[in-house]
Each structure stands twice: as C-alpha cells, then as structure tokens.
C-alpha cells in the first residue's frame, strides 16, 4: 500500500515535471517560429523588389542579358524553396547573382544616377539589413531552444515529446563589407 | 538584445514606484515647510509671547494627505499622454514618406525594430537644422525615435544606422522609459521656467514704458509661478542623480553590436558634438532623452564626482575613446577620415515611379534597327536612343508619328520627364499644371514653364536644412548682390501689392513678403495652408544664404567658381 502510494506520488511528480518541460519547450519553439516568420516576410520583400530592379536595369544594360537572366532565375528558385536549408542555399545563390548585377551596374553611371534605381537600392539595402537582423534574432532563439532541448534532464524526454533541434539560417551579406574591425576588449 | 521582456517589465514597475515615491516625499517636505512657515508668520503677529507648536500629529496627517493629492494630480496630468506631449513640445512630426531623406529614416528605424524582435517603434522628424536624436517610450510600450532634419541631412546611411541603433538600445533596455517619465514630470516645467527667464531678460533689456507696466502687472503672479517652477526644477536635478551616465556607454555598445561598425557611431558622435545640437527652443531640462545634450554646458564635458552626479551624459571624448578603441582607430584618423559630403548640382528629379507597386507604364512602340520594338516606358525610350525624328507609336492611340510630335516625348527628350500632375494644382503665374518633383529629396510642385516652385512651409524648412546641392555660380552672385542692395534700399511696401497670386493648393489669395527679416527674399505665402511660392531660382538663393549663415565648409572657398567634381 505504502509502495503504491509512493509510486503514485513519483508518477505525479514526473507528470508535473514533464508538463513543465513541455510548456517551456513549446514557448521556446514559438519564439523560434516567430523569428522565422520575420525572416520569411523580409525574404518575400526581397523577391518582390527584384523584378522592378531588373526592369529598371534592363533599359541601361542591354548587353548584360546573361547577368539579368541569372538574377531572375535565382529569384524564381528562391521563391520555390521550402525548407530552411533549401532557402539558405537558394538565397545565397540569389545574393551572388545580385552582387554581380551591382558589380556590372558600376559601369553604367546613368543607371546609378537613375532616381528609380536609387530608390530601389535604398529599399534593397533596407531589406538586406532587416534580413540580417531577423536572421540574428532567429539564430539567437534557435540557440536558446536547442540548448534546452539538448541539455540534461530535458534531453531525456525531448525527442519523445516531439522536440528536435532546429536549424540555423546563415546568409551571406549582399554588401561585401570589409570584415568588421570590432573587438570588445 | 540583452534584456528579456520580463526583466524590462520589472524594471519599469520599479521606475514607476521609485519616481512616484520621490514625488510624494518631495511634496511632503514642500507642504510641511510651507505650513510651518505660514504658522510662524501668523504667530509672530498675533501671539508674540507664545512659542508656536510646530509639529502635531494631526497636522502631519493633513500635510501627508495634501502631499499625496498633489503628487497624484501631478503624476496623472503629466504622464497621461507622455509621447504626444513631448513630441508636441519638440514640434516633432511623422515622416513624409515621399521625401527620400525621411523614407531612409523610416527604413532604418524599421530595421532596428526587426533587430529588437519586432518592437513597436515609430519615427518622427524634428524640423530643426540642429543635429540631434532622441528616444521616448510610454507605459504601453509604444516607442518613438526622433531625429532632427539637420542630422538627417548631414550624416551618411551607416552613421544614421549607428545613431538609430543607439536610440533603439535605450528603448530595448528600458532606459528611455524612465527618462521619458522624468522628463514628462519635470522637464516640461523646466522648459517653462527657462522660457520665463528668457522673456523677463528680454523685457528688462528692452526698457520701453509699455512693457514695464505690463511687467508690473504680471510681476507678482510671475514671481509665484517662478518660485514653484524653481522648486520643481530642483526636484528634476535631484532625479537626474539617478540617470546614470553609464547608460550612454551601454547604449553605444549595443549600437556597435547591432551595426558591427564602431567607426560609423564615432563619426556620427563627432559630427554631432561639433555641430549645433539645438532643437528649436527646447531647453536643457529635456536633455536626458537626447543622444547628446542640446545645450552645450561645461558640466557635460567635465569629469569628477560632481559632474558624474549631476550630468546625464558622459563627455563625448570618453565615448569616442571607447568606440575608437573598438575600431582600432584614433581621433586623428577619425578627423581626417571624415570627408566632406559630395554635392550634386541643383536638379529636380521626378518622384520615383512607385517602388514595388506600380511599374512604369509601357505603352510606346519604337521603330529601331528596321523593326518595331517594345512596348517601352518613356524612360526606356530615352535610354535606348530616342531622338526627335524617331518613329514611335503609342499602343493606346495606334497612330505612327515622330517623337517630336508628341508633347510628352518632347518633354522627356528635353530632360524634363514630368512628375505626376494634378489638374487642380496650377502655376499661379502661368496657369500651367504643376508637377510633383523631388527638390533635394523633398516633394515640391514645379512649373516646368516658368521654373517656379510651390512648397509647403515645413517642406521649405527641410530643403533649407539640407546641404547636398552645389549651387549655380549665378546664384552666389545674385544672392550677394541682393543682400548688399537690400540694406541700402527702402523696404518695399507689401500692403500696396495689387497682383496677388492664387495659392496653387487652396486657391486662397497669397500674401507677398520677405521670407524672414534675416533673409529678405520676396516670396508669396498662403496664410491659409502655409504654401509658399518661389519664383525661379529664389529657393536656391535662400538655400545659399542660409547655408552661408550656418557657415558650412562650402563657403570656405571661392564661391564665384563652380565646385570641382
Ligand atoms: Zn509657371
Ligand atoms: Zn493655400
């Protein structure tokens, strides 16, 4: 009888603990999801800007058909990617294509002075910054979530409850800034 | 971001409790003092022999209740609409998204909002040519980052990112909430006090009889108000003890972590510290919300226990030292690294044709290389080598003609692609439709026939704060001659104007007058909607003269020669 009672108490304690772990992980996972939603919004904005960019550039860059087509192709592929890893790959290819577009655009001073182009470039810069910040935020949340999934004692039950580690999202910067010369010492 | 949501909420409620307790204690002592003084005063007259009983338990209770009531009232009325009150005082306005400078600010603020995980941060612009930025937050978690027009026009995008990052750090850490509460409670009264000081000083300097009699009438009243405000200002000083200078260093560090660019922040701080930081008539008592104190006083720049206690901002040279250390740079290379901003010639450009929504309309076919090509938008036609003799056809019309026969193509060929026009906005001089163009980034309406420009009052102020245009040589000559002849000649009689112009916006009759007394350019102004009409070249002359008054480096060279590219 006493043993039964003790078993019962232990079961209840375990159930309570499981509930706590579950709720904690659900909350952390929600934050990861929110972080990803932010990235998704900005990626979509990036894809929306590109057709206009290519249209504007077309009038000036008649002999750069290949460069422009590469951007369009990369954009189409990026819009079709679904998983985090697929998106990462597709977006990095798109970044590469955009980089060569801007490198070529340097040769066309008229294009660089075009008001539409300037406005589009400002929008693209802003979107790139937002993507970078959203990515930073997302990766921070993933780190926090993954740490709790993998650390003891939650790691003993997390897989059973359906919590797997999430993937990081890494993306090259469009503007190839010099490596930041920062030290916090 | 270093702080979690719950931590910030905890700190917020701590700030509220602390400040309210401070207010309560402050009013308790003030009321007690007042009560004792009153008692002594009356006792002296009527009961000279008896030493008055100064403290009694019952009176203490009454004084406490009075203090509680006054503190509650003060708290309630000061913190009801903190953001609206403060932005109103600073005359800050939401950005005009057609304006390229304002759009850039909105973008940068949106970016840091993403960096903070989607905090609700709006941005405001203060129409002042001084250089400063501020951050405020209220109880509900709404936050505002404000930037002056002068700062917006004189720093680069990366420097702006750094400044906004600094302000966002204050918002994320909850610093801006406590400073907002303190400024709402005391800063506004401090501002009033400084205003009275200025008025009375001006009065005594003026010395006219009428003023003195007015002064005498208000004198007694003013004295009482003055005393009250002085006491509140004292309380403000006491509370500033708790606004640590450390928070500025912390915000600088967070901004660097966000932008990964310590050099941009040090450049921005250096430029702000060198320039005039004034924000309209706003006094030093609101300084805690700004990135750098609007008033330059010795206290901020000095070190030691006293200034550490009473000053809300650390000396700029200490902030620069830390930032430059992160960037492995030093003050010398910072100074030499700051290039003068490149100027572009004065040129109106069409408003950009919609960024993501409306692509340019493509309805022109172009006969080129022995074949019909297209359809193209007008801009594309020009860039693919249209000339007046080229054969073109508009899809909507279906007729083949030469480019010179189409008025819109002729305009485009002459380099004046008109911006969007509204039929109701016509030139007050020649009745031609005005088209919306960007003049130094600001949306104005231009007549392509006479070259005149119609601009809102605050839009003109924006243009005058900006320094990105290099002016025509003639502008300098005309402006100098105008200033010389103005002081020699009799002022024109503006009451005798017979050919009053019609406002292109609200159709009211406009008044002729000088732009300001310091800038005696004759312009037409609508009293109803504030719109201003500049004849061809007048806005440029005004820009030239305001910049000259500000003493920008542009004028340290021979202005009669064009700027070298
Ligand atoms: Zn006209
Ligand atoms: Zn009007």
**Global ipTM:** 0.80
How much is the pLDDT for B210?
Answer: 42
C-alpha A55 to ligand 1 mean position (Å): 34
Give the pLDDT confidence score for residue B409 in this predicted structure.
Answer: 75
Which candidate from B107, B117, B260 shows the least CB-CB separation from A180? B260
Give the Å distance between the CA of B532 and the centre of ligand 2: 8
Distance from CA of B416 to the nearest CA of A (A): 13
pTM assigned to the model = 0.76
Is B362 an interface residue toward A (CB < 8 Å)? no
Coil, strand or helix at A139:
helix
Tokens linked to B418 = 């008109």
Of B18, B17, B20, B32, which is closest to residue B65 (Cα–Cα)? B32
- The C-alpha atoms of residue A183 and residue A70 are separated, in whole angstroms, by 38
Predicted pLDDT at B465: 86
| More reliable by pLDDT, B13 or A177 | B13
Q: State the pLDDT at residue A41.
A: 87
What are phi and psi for residue B560, nearest 5 degrees? -80, -5
Residues of chain B whose pLDDT is less than 70? 1-8, 41-55, 188-245, 275-285, 293-313, 340-341, 350-361, 379-380, 382-385, 411-423, 487-491, 551-565
Backbone torsions φ then ψ of B547, nearest 5 degrees: -65, -35
How far apart are the CA of B53 and the centre of ligand 1, in A? 83
Mean pLDDT along residues A160-183: 68
CA distances from A14 to A10, A148, A153, B208, B473 (A): 6, 18, 12, 88, 84
Determine the pLDDT at residue B192: 65
Least trusted range by pLDDT, from A88-97, A171-180, B179-188, B432-441: A171-180
Which ligand is nearest to the Cα of residue B505, counting in written order?
A: 2
Q: Exposed, middle or buried: residue A66 (CB in 10 Å: 0-12, 13-18, 19+)?
A: exposed
**Core vs surface per residue B391-421: b (16+ CB within 10 A) or e:** ebbbeeeeeeeebeebeebeebbeeebbbee
| Residue A183 confidence class, pLDDT cut points 50, 70, 90 | very low
pLDDT on residue B294: 64
Q: What is the pLDDT, as a whole number, of residue B207? A: 41
Using the structure block, give the residue that is written with the tokens 């897989």.
Answer: A159
Average pLDDT, chain A: 83
**What pLDDT score does B212 carry?**
45
- Residue B419's contacts (CB-CB under 8 Å, 6 or more residues apart) are B350, B351, B435, B436, B437, B446
Q: What is the number of the ligand closest to the CA of B507?
A: 2
Please give the structure tokens belonging to residue B109.
């603020």
Residues with CB under 5 A from ligand 2 (ion): B 503, 505-506, 508, 526, 528-529, 531
pLDDT of residue B531: 92
- For residue B409 the two structure tokens come to 């193509």
pLDDT at B299: 45
- Tell me, what's the pLDDT at B108? 93
């Amino acid at each position: 009888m006493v043993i039964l009672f003790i078993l019962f108490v232990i079961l209840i304690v375990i159930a309570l603990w499981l509930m706590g772990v579950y709720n904690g992980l659900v909350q952390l996972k929600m934050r990861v999801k929110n972080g990803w939603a932010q990235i998704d919004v900005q990626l979509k904005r990036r894809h929306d800007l590109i057709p206009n960019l290519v249209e504007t550039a077309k009038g000036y860059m008649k002999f750069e058909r290949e460069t422009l087509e590469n951007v369009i192709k990369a954009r189409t592929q990026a819009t079709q990617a679904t998983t985090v890893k697929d998106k990462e790959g597709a977006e990095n290819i798109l970044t590469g294509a955009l980089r060569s577009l801007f490198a070529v655009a340097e040769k066309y001073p008229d294009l660089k002075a075009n008001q539409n182009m300037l406005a589009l470039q400002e929008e693209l810069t802003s979107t790139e910054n937002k993507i970078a910040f959203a990515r930073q935020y997302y990766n921070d949340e993933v780190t926090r979530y993954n740490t709790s999934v993998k650390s003891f004692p939650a790691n003993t039950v997390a897989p059973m409850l359906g919590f797997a580690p999430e993937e990081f999202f890494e993306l090259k910067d469009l503007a190839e800034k010099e490596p930041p010369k920062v030290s916090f010492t | 971001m270093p702080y979690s949501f719950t931590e910030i909420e905890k700190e917020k409620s701590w700030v509220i409790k602390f400040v309210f307790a401070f207010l309560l204690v402050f009013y308790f002592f003030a009321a007690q003092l007042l009560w004792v003084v009153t008692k002594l005063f009356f006792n002296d007259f009527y009961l000279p022999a008896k030493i008055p009983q100064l403290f009694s338990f019952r009176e203490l209770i009454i004084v406490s209740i009075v203090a509680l009531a006054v503190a509650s009232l003060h708290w309630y009325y000061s913190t009801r609409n903190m953001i609206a009150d403060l932005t109103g005082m600073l005359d800050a306005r939401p950005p005009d998204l057609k304006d390229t400078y304002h759009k850039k600010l909105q973008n940068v603020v949106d970016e840091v909002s993403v960096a903070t995980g989607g905090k609700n941060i709006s941005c405001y612009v203060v129409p002042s040519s001084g250089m400063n930025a501020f951050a405020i937050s209220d109880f509900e978690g709404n936050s505002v980052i404000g930037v002056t027009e002068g700062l917006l026009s004189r720093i680069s995008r990366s420097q702006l990112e750094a400044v906004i990052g600094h302000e966002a750090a204050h918002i994320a850490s909850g610093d801006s909430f406590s400073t907002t509460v303190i400024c709402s409670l005391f800063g506004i009264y401090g501002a009033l006090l400084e205003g009275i000081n200025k008025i009375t000083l001006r009065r005594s300097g003026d010395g006219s009889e009428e003023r003195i009699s007015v002064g005498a009438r208000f004198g007694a009243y003013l004295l009482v108000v003055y005393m009250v405000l002085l006491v509140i200002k004292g309380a403000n000083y006491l509370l500033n003890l708790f606004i640590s200078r450390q928070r500025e260093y912390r915000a600088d560090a967070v901004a660097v972590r966000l932008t990964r660019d310590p050099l941009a922040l040090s450049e921005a701080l250096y430029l702000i510290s060198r320039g005039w930081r004034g924000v309209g008539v706003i006094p030093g008592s609101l300084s805690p919300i700004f990135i750098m104190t609007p008033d330059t006083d010795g206290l901020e720049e000095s070190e030691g226990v006293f200034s550490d206690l009473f000053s809300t901002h650390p000396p700029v040279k200490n902030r620069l030292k830390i930032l430059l250390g992160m960037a492995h740079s030093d003050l010398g290379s910072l100074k030499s690294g700051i290039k003068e901003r490149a100027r572009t010639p004065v040129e109106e450009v069409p408003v950009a044709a919609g960024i993501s929504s409306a692509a340019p309309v493509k309805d022109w076919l172009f006969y080129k290389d022995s074949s019909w090509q297209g359809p193209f938008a007008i801009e594309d036609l020009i860039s693919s080598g249209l000339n007046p003799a080229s054969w073109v056809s508009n899809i909507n019309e279906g007729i083949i003609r030469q480019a010179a026969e189409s008025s819109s193509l002729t305009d485009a060929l002459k380099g004046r692609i008109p911006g969007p026009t509204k039929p109701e906005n016509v030139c007050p001089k020649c009745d031609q439709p005005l088209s919306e163009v960007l003049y130094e980034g600001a949306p104005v309406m231009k007549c392509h026939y006479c070259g005149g420009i119609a601009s809102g009052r605050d839009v003109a102020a924006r243009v005058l704060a900006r320094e990105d245009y290099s002016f025509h040589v003639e502008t300098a000559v005309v402006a100098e001659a105008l200033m010389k002849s103005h002081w020699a000649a009799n002022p024109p009689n503006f009451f005798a104007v017979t050919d009053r112009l019609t406002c292109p916006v609200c159709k009211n009759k406009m008044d002729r007058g000088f732009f300001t007394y310091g800038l005696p350019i004759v312009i037409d102004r609508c009293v109803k909607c504030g719109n201003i009409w500049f004849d061809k070249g007048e806005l440029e002359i005004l820009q030239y003269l305001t910049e000259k008054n500000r003493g920008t480096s542009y004028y340290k060279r021979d202005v009669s020669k064009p700027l070298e590219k």
